[in-house]
Amino acid sequence: MLLLMFLALAFVGVPIAYAMGLSTIVALIVLEVPLAVFFTRTIASINSSSLLAIPFFIVAGDILTVGGISKRLIAFANATVGWARGGLAMVNVLASMLFAGVSGSAAADTVAVGGVMIPAMKRSGYDPGFSVAVTAASSVIGPIIPPSVLLIIYGGITGVSIGALFIAGVIPGIFLGLMLLALSWWIGKEQVGRQGGFKIREVLIAMRKSVLGLVLPIGLVLGIIGGVFTATEAGVMIVIYALLVSMLVYRELTIREIAPVLIRSTVLTGVLMLLVAMAAGFAWILAYTRVPATILGALTNLSTNPTILMLIVVGFLLVFGMFVETVAATIITVPVLFPLGETLGYDPLHFALVIVMTLLIGTITPPLGILLYICAGLGDVSIPKAIRAALPFMLILVVTVVVVALIPALVTWLPGLM
* Rounded (5°) CA angle 275-276-282: 85
CA 199 to chain CA centroid, nearest Å? 33
- The burial of 366, by beta-carbon neighbours within 10 Å (0-12 exposed, 13-18 middle, 19 or more buried), is given as middle
Question: What tens-digit pLDDT sequence spans the chain (418 residues)?
Answer: 888 888 888 888 888 889 889 999 999 999 999 999 899 988 988 887 778 888 888 888 888 878 888 788 888 998 888 888 888 889 989 988 888 877 667 777 787 788 888 988 888 888 999 999 999 999 999 889 988 889 998 998 888 988 899 999 999 999 999 999 999 999 988 877 666 677 888 889 989 988 988 888 888 878 877 788 887 888 888 899 989 999 998 888 888 889 999 998 899 888 888 888 888 888 888 888 887 778 777 877 888 788 999 999 999 899 888 888 888 888 888 888 888 888 888 999 999 999 999 999 998 998 878 889 889 988 889 989 999 999 999 999 999 999 999 999 999 999 988 7
Share of the chain above pLDDT 70, in %: 98
Q: pLDDT tens across 218-236, in order?
A: 888 788 777 888 878 888 8
Structural contact between residues 408 and 351, judged by C-beta atoms closer than 8 angstroms: no
Report d(CA 70, CA 94) in Å as an integer: 12
Ranges assigned E (strand) in 61-102: none
Cα dihedral 211, 414, 173, 222 in deg (nearest 10): -20
pLDDT of residue 193: 61
- The burial of 112, by beta-carbon neighbours within 10 Å (0-12 exposed, 13-18 middle, 19 or more buried), is given as buried
Mean pLDDT for all residues in the chain: 87
Amino acid sitting at position 365: T
- The burial of 120, by beta-carbon neighbours within 10 Å (0-12 exposed, 13-18 middle, 19 or more buried), is given as middle
Report d(CA 108, CA 5) in Å as an integer: 31
Q: How many domains does one find in the chain?
A: 1
Structural domain that includes position 288: 2-417
pTM of the predicted protein model: 0.87
Report d(CA 90, CA 179) in Å as an integer: 11
Amino acid sitting at position 58: I
State the sign of the Cα–Cα–Cα–Cα dihedral 26, 29, 31, 34.
positive
